[in-house]
Chain A
Amino acid sequence: MQAMPETADQSKRPDKDVRPLTGNEAIARGAWEAGVRVAAAYPGTPSTEIMESLAAYPAEDLHAQWSTNEKVALDVAIGASFAGSRALASMKHVGLNVAADAFMSQAYIGVNGGLVLAVCDDPGIHSSQNEQDSRIYGQFATVPVLEPSDAQEALDLTRLAFDLSEQFDTMVIVRGTTRLSHTRSPVAIGPRSEHPSRGFVENPAKNVMIPAHARRRHTAVIEREAKLKQYLETATINRWETGDASFGVITAGTCYPYVREVLPNASVLKLGASWPLPEGLLRRYCESVERVFVVEELEPVIEKELRALGIKVEGKQFFPREGEFSPEILRAGFEKAGVLEPRAKRASWALEPLARPPVLCAGCPHTSSFMAVRASGARVAGDIGCYTLACLDPLRGLDTTVSMGSSIGNAIGMAMAGDTKPVMATIGDSTFLHAGIPSLINAVYNQANITVLLLDNHITAMTGGQEHPGTGKTLRGGDAPKVDYEALVRAIGVTWVRTVDSYDLAQMYQTLREAIAHRGVSVIISNRPCVLDPMKIKGPALAIVNEQCNACQSCMNLGCPALTWGDDTFEGRHKVKIDQSMCIGCTLCAQVCTVDCIKPAAPMTTTTVTQ
């Protein structure tokens, strides 16, 4: 048994209601407590649970929605602010690229009801296409960026963000990272304060961005920045923690706990806002210590600003510009900088870790779509979603992936540039609605010769199963009109459209062949629900008749995780076996078996669907 540590000092949190919350839940709580009335988001790891948590608060308190994409979500929130209500938009870092047009202009307009944008970055690229640093957007648009370091601050700073927004007439960014979003820690919660609507304020000079107005607003924005800096000189969200004066650390957000972990007694200036920066405070702090280190994940935003002020600081020469920080990385940096004694290295057991790349679920309908895509011999422009995993062995079914909705535009370009293979775009249902429709219209308009495979699994799967306009349900589970993809695609001028059952491989192959043979834009909708969301699908499992299996491993081409090598071999190759607990009975493996030896494990019963 391990010796137990001491418990926490309870006197620090007298008679408060303390709950364990993740950073995302705390941001949602903060927004609710601040009296938010309209909230909108498009899902994206690690930000998704902010909106899901907000939807758990009463509908009388706030309207919460999944929007079709991040630009729409931000526009909805901006609209609510115009109308005088407190509003929140949340998204992942790359979502802000999609919303950037509205974001940049809104920065000039400012707010009526408080407007907060929660953006979650993904240092380390746990589940994203890049690791851009959203703080630079704050700098770019001259919008303040608050950075919580744990769930308690996530709540407190989100509440404060609404107040600051109204006080300084600006949208405010609350910036998190994956680590903040998905770490649960104790949070003292409070009641909701109501902020009745201020009503729409008619003021075209502020609200209508024509050049004459925008020029004046730009001046206002620059004045606003000065006022914010002034405020931050003395704001309590910046914390000067004194310690040994031989060196000091300037840090913010989720880097702060790592700094404290490795340097419990050091002098630290913890900034609550990483943009804009209070010059006077920074100068005073830097003069109080002999050496100054800036510890920030990703880009040297604070470091560059300090250098611009002519202050000598150290940072990115010791702490990397890429990847997620950890106590180990900080320790290594401070050792290199000579302020920590190097630890004795202990030789550890050199093990080669098992490669376990992410895979599609057993029975995932994307599996068969990509078996067919692969057999079509096409050049495939891919997109973002669970189906991006089809780029890996054994499916290896897509050639490119850029950003949400890029596939169709990329395919048009490839076709126009004269790729020697037939060109195809594969795009998920949620992604198609998010950013695929304009590019499909473009394909029709410019008469591209491409095939678009719309992978309709009836859900936004990769981010955990969110509703979207094609599912017929809203965020709160209410009924909604459902997009009719065939009708939509025909309405924009596509003449060749077919819907196929993804689990019918022969039909998938045949339809893809015909679609490719068609000159012009052809659209195939592969139609089967995701096996995990919104309902878990588990049919009767299949089994392999071991004596008949000839170990050709044709079924292994699917990459279904329920299929693995058995112990027996044939001609030196392993026969295959099916993990009964994982198999959902989609029958795809039976369809590709060359000797027809994959059969129901037990006599057929009806499919069971469990919640």
Chain B
Amino acid sequence: MNRPNASGSSIESEQLRPIAAAAKAREPMNVLIVGVGGQGVIMVSKALASLAQSKGFEVKQSEVHGMAKRGGTVFSHVRFGPQVWSPTIPKGEADILVALEWAEGLRWLAYLKPDTGIFICDTKRIVPPFACLNRRPGSPLRYSRETPAEVKAHVAEGYAIDATHMAEELGNERVGNVVLIGALSTALDFSAEDWEKSLAQFVPKKTIAVNLDAFRLGRNWIAEARTNPAKIESPATKTAAPAHVPYSVRLEITAEWCKSCDICVKLCPERCLRLNEERIAELAQPEKCTGCRLCELLCPDFAIKVHLDSPKQGVAA
């Protein structure tokens, strides 16, 4: 119980070094595994926890089930050592961060130990519907813009792996998480056979072979990346935002043709239309209108025409 604070106070003097090393060995190993619901974050953490347990460590594995069954943020803390107290890893104290999705990796970056933390991240992007809500012409995707190169420059040791793609090439895109287990295995001192034994407990019997292939692929990828970093540069994930085009929107509503069905009012994504006193469609909140043309397309009587005017050149045909 004599565990000193993990405050990382810089003990530099020669004679203190062995003591510091011994103290360090009393501190648990902290591995944070993150991703999006449905990706297999929990399976990765179970495989690691079970392996550590079988090697005589005390293990705590903690996860939280969010509100959504699929598509939400998922994270699992795995801590093992001679004794583990908190089930969650304190911020800035993760030894390894394994991310199954790019933006999720970035979300948890601050949990890594600044000087020694290892970052292992799939470059797969799962873009939430929320990132694609803005219908204004030229509006950018609301997804993280940082590139693997930028991220690597900010961590002690970083790997951006196109694991999902590698899994697809193996013929089963669901084993992307196991490619990452392979990568993770190179950061911890357990033997490859032990990993494979642990893995086999957590994957369906029929898929053991492809999972082991995926594991080895991830393991070899890191070995290669260490010896030859330039060779395995992951594809840049930066997407250029379409150039913003200044424009204005005008709705031309032919009152005589409107039969007050209010389809446009109910289905306008910005909810900026209404029926006026004469029950004719009108644009109530012009500042909200993005010119998406849904009302024009949905009006059964062609009573609405959307004009997208740009000062310089007509955006619309």
Contact = CB atoms under 8 A, between A and B. Distances in A.
A572 B106 contact: no
Given A2-B95, A354-B104, 18 more contacts: A2-B96, A6-B26, A8-B83, A20-B61, A179-B64, A183-B61, A257-B86, A352-B144, A353-B103, A357-B72, A358-B66, A361-B70, A361-B71, A553-B292, A556-B135, A557-B267, A594-B294, A594-B297
CB-based closest 5 A-B pairs: A572-B137, A358-B68, A5-B81, A7-B56, A594-B297
Contact of A9 (B66, B82, B118, B247): B82
A2 B81 contact: no
Contacts of B29: 2, 4-5
Interface in B171-192: 173, 186-189
Interface of A is mostly: loop
A209 interface: no
B293 A7 contact: no
B86 A5 contact: no
Contacts of A561: 70-71, 128-129
Interface string B146-188: 1000000010000000000000000001000000000000111
A328 interface: yes
Contacts of B308: 571
A348 B69 contact: no
B144 A351 contact: yes
B28 A5 contact: yes
B255 interface: no
Contacts of B316: 571
Given A1-B187, A375-B267, A393 B109 contact: no
Given A6-B25, A261-B86, A571-B308, A126 B103 contact: no
Interface of B is mostly: loop
Nearest to A580: B173
A473 interface: no
B109 A571 contact: no
B114 A346 contact: yes
Interface string A292-303: 000000000000
B288 interface: no
A461 B136 CA distance: 35
A13 to B, nearest CB: 10
B298 interface: yes
Interface stretch (A88-96, A415-423, A434-442, A562-570): A562-570
A480 B17 CA distance: 67
Contact of B293 (A4, A8, A260, A552): A552
A556 B85 contact: no
A26 B194 CA distance: 27
Contacts of B106: 351, 353-354
Contact of A10 (B1, B56, B67, B90): B56
Interface stretch (B47-55, B208-216, B230-238, B279-287): B47-55
B315 A571 contact: yes
A264 B81 CA distance: 15
A258 B81 contact: no
A298 B59 CA distance: 27
A554 B142 CA distance: 19
Contacts of B85: 257-258, 260-261, 264
Interface string B125-143: 0011111110111100111
13 contacts: A1-B186, A4-B29, A178-B64, A183-B60, A184-B61, A185-B87, A353-B144, A354-B106, A356-B128, A357-B72, A553-B294, A557-B269, A565-B127
Contact of B90 (A8, A326, A346, A573): A326
Interface of B: 1-5, 7, 24-29, 36, 49-50, 53, 55-73, 80-88, 90-92, 95-96, 103-104, 106-107, 109-110, 114, 116, 118, 127-133, 135-138, 141-144, 146, 154, 173, 186-189, 239, 242, 245, 247, 262-263, 265-267, 269, 291-294, 297-298, 308, 315-316
Contacts, number: 272
Contact of A182 (B26, B65, B90): B65
B73 A356 contact: yes
Contact of B69 (A7, A462, A559): A462
A464 to B, nearest CB: 8
Interface in A1-35: 1-10, 20
A242 B263 CA distance: 72
Contacts of B61: 20, 183-185
Nearest to B189: A4
Contacts of B173: 581
B266 A394 contact: no
Nearest to A376: B266
Contacts of B129: 359, 394, 556, 559-561, 563-564
Given A351-B106, A552-B292, A182 B242 contact: no
A59 interface: no
A37 interface: no
A331 B90 contact: yes
Contacts of A284: none
A393 B271 CA distance: 12
Contacts of A510: none
Contact of B65 (A127, A360, A388, A571): A127
